[in-house]
Amino acid sequence: MKIILTQIPDVLVIDPTVFNDERGFFLESYNQAVFNTITGLQAQFVQDNHSCSKKHVLRGLHYQIQQPQGKLVRVIVGEVFDVAVDLRRSSSSLGQWVGCYLSAENKQQLWIPAGFAHGFLVLSDYAELLYKTTDYYAPEQERCIYWNDPDLAIAWPLKGSPLISAKDQVGRVFKAAELFS
């Protein structure tokens, strides 16, 4: 496994070691000791989530103001453009975002620390994501920032209008969002 740094130092792309042969492939998707060593983190994951969405679905930008979740995200079917937005008031990268392509083909994972909003756009006919979280889902603590907030100016690789949930349509603008200290 190796780490690929992003423009925001706390958000990491993890590139696994993949063993390919004529039968297929094998990779270790998570090993706590290796993860802690290569990232320098002591993350403790408490929940695994599995999400399936069709093409042009855009989910996010989600976060929990209490019980903030660090997320380790990977795609097992299809391709997405995955985004993390820094919401930490004390951070020099507050309001900045990082986006990367995660796919079943590249097998990369994205580490998004607590204190970030997360969203993704499905680029393939459909996509399945698996992600680990460092805290439990707390719907009463969940918040949403508009995916197309002009102050964030996220460069979504989008043709046409995305499919957005009713919940995501009533998000907030970044300037009105609850932030982390």
Q: What is the pTM of this model?
A: 0.95
Q: Specify the 3-state DSSP secondary structure of 21.
A: strand
* Residue 154 maps to a domain: yes
* Residue 124 maps to a domain: yes
Question: 173 near 117, Cβ under 8 Å?
Answer: no
CA 167, 164, 118, 1 torsion: positive or negative? positive
* Residue 57 maps to a domain: yes
Question: 97 near 84, Cβ under 8 Å?
Answer: yes
Phi and psi angles of residue 25, each rounded to the nearest 5 degrees, phi first: -145, 165
Looking at every residue in the chain, the average pLDDT score rounds to 97
* Residue 21 maps to a domain: yes
* Residue 58 maps to a domain: yes
Instruction: Write out the catalytic residue numbers.
Output: 62, 131
Among residues 21, 27, 50, the alpha carbon closest in space to that of 107 is found at 27
Phi and psi angles of residue 80, each rounded to the nearest 5 degrees, phi first: -135, 160
Output the pLDDT for position 146.
97
Q: How many domains does the chain have?
A: 1
Domain ranges, residue 44:
2-176
CATH number of domain containing 30 = 2.60.120.10
pLDDT band of residue 119 (cuts 50, 70, 90) is very high
* Residue 116 maps to a domain: yes
* Residue 181 maps to a domain: no
Among residues 65, 179, 54, 178, the alpha carbon closest in space to that of 127 is found at 54
pLDDT (tens digit per residue) in 75-103: 999 999 999 999 999 999 999 999 999 99
